[in-house]
A = this chain, B = another copy of it.
Amino acid sequence: MSNPSVPIQSDPSAHSGVKALKCRECGRRYELLAIHVCEFCFGPLEVEYDYEVIGRKISRKSIEAGPVSLWRYKDLLPVLGEPTAGLHAGMTPLVRADRLGRALGLKNLYVKNDTVNHPTLSFKDRVVAVATTRARELGFTTIACASTGNLANSVSAHAASCGMECFVFIPHDLEAGKVLGNLIYKPTVVSVKGTYDDVNRLCSEIGAEYPWAFVNINIRPYYAEGSKSLAFETAEQLGWRVPDQVVVPIASGSLLTKIWKGFHEFTRLGLVDENPLLKVNGAQASGCSPVYQAYVSGKNHIVPVRPNTIAKSLAIGNPADGFYALDVVGKSGGQVEQATDSEIIDGMKLLAETEGIFAETAGGVTVACLKKLAEKGAIRPDELTVAYITGNGLKTMEALAGSLSQPVSIDPNLSSFRQIVNPKS
């Protein structure tokens, strides 16, 4: 078993555009190891690329000739060799959402639909595909995570498909679908009596003691980059174009910052024209909205909260990348909105009834916040807008208890049916 402090590193390809890890705060550079925090200033580490090298390798044509998965963008992902996990993640549909748009007064609306991501139906399959491939390059044989649910599902599935040992840590009050969606793959599921923030803190301690790849802790710099694929796919699926407005749910904040980064990388490489209009908007649940609170109070630091929301996948009270998400929103001229539990349910129903897409509670948050942004004119009717729907509704069925009408029950004969309905003609 490898030791996390001296991981076995794959031979970096001489032509790889992946250069180093770099501290976001002090700029200090590190080798491409299983580390995530600057030893000097405690800033977060991020992957640094050589865009000149990448620019010589990548083109619209090379991407279009690639696999139907996020690995078509491999040159912009932090792995050194070929992918070995999550080969089918990504390339989910970008759905033209005219009926939802009409309901909201928007004429140019799309939904990026990760409710059908492979294999575990959430955007986490993107980050885990990248993290697992990188963890294996670094020699790890055990993979682990702290999770609000979707991440644990994805880590468990990817570990199973690779034959890796697996530990997933979840808060004790998760939805049944998300718990079962771990157990079926037979990892060790550790249910922690506390919030996600407690789970996360505990996992940092465990990570210091056990030689495991915690995808969202010591592997985080690589893991987080997987989210850029949502921007890459959006741009390609729009016909190589950057949208005017995006609406992104905020949990840790990482997803929002990486979508921004993805559009900027595509622009920098000349794969798309720059769109100076691009605004990045954040969506939070009112029951856990530390980034929204900072945004409305005009502060640039995040005050942690104790979550109390049905949107459990967004229930991170102390978001690791909250500050950076706030920064992106501000720089782009976007906004942060929040939605109450009942607005979340209404958002889930609206998306299902207009577009036939059954999203989990986080998707309800996104739709509810999109609605608010449209109503107040922050998103104008003609703007090219993309809403990110990040997980499937079958995982959060409890949230809908009592909110939907029930089936009509009849006997198996025509007269019983006639009693409940009249012909519409």
Q: Would you give the shortest CB distance from A4 to chain B, in whole angstroms?
A: 10
On chain B, the residues within 8 Å of A340 by CB distance are: none
On chain B, the residues within 8 Å of A156 by CB distance are: 356
On chain B, the residues within 8 Å of A417 by CB distance are: 190, 202, 206
Q: Would you give the shortest CB distance from A161 to chain B, in whole angstroms?
A: 3
- The complex places the Cα of A87 from the Cα of B180 at a distance, in Å, of 31
Which residue of chain B has the shortest Cβ distance to A358 in the bound complex? B184
By the criterion CB–CB under 8 Å, are A349 and B186 in contact?
Answer: yes
On chain B, the residues within 8 Å of A393 by CB distance are: 181, 184
On chain B, the residues within 8 Å of A209 by CB distance are: 414, 423
A192's partner among B186, B392, B410 (CB-CB below 8 A) is B410
- The complex places the Cα of A239 from the Cα of B186 at a distance, in Å, of 33
Give per-residue flags for A207-237: 1 if the beta carbon is below 8 A from chain B beta carbons, else 0: 0011100000000000000000000000000
**Interface residue A293 (Cβ < 8 Å from any Cβ of B):** no
Give per-residue flags for A86-118: 1 if the beta carbon is below 8 A from chain B beta carbons, else 0: 011001110110010000000000000101111
Q: Would you give the shortest CB distance from A147 to chain B, in whole angstroms?
A: 12
Which residue of chain B has the shortest Cβ distance to A179 in the bound complex? B407
By the criterion CB–CB under 8 Å, are B410 and A191 in contact?
Answer: yes
- The complex places the Cα of A394 from the Cα of B392 at a distance, in Å, of 10
By the criterion CB–CB under 8 Å, are A412 and B88 in contact?
Answer: no
Give per-residue flags for A179-202: 1 if the beta carbon is below 8 A from chain B beta carbons, else 0: 111111110111111100011011
By the criterion CB–CB under 8 Å, are B358 and A185 in contact?
Answer: yes
On chain B, the residues within 8 Å of A412 by CB distance are: 192-194, 198-199, 201-202
Q: A118-B93, A121-B121, A394-B394 are in contact. Are A183 and B356 (CB under 8 A)?
A: no
Give 23 CB contacts A-B under 8 Å.
Answer: A88-B93, A121-B394, A156-B356, A157-B356, A157-B358, A160-B352, A170-B407, A177-B177, A177-B394, A181-B394, A183-B404, A184-B352, A184-B404, A186-B349, A186-B405, A191-B408, A191-B410, A201-B412, A205-B414, A206-B414, A210-B423, A210-B424, A210-B425
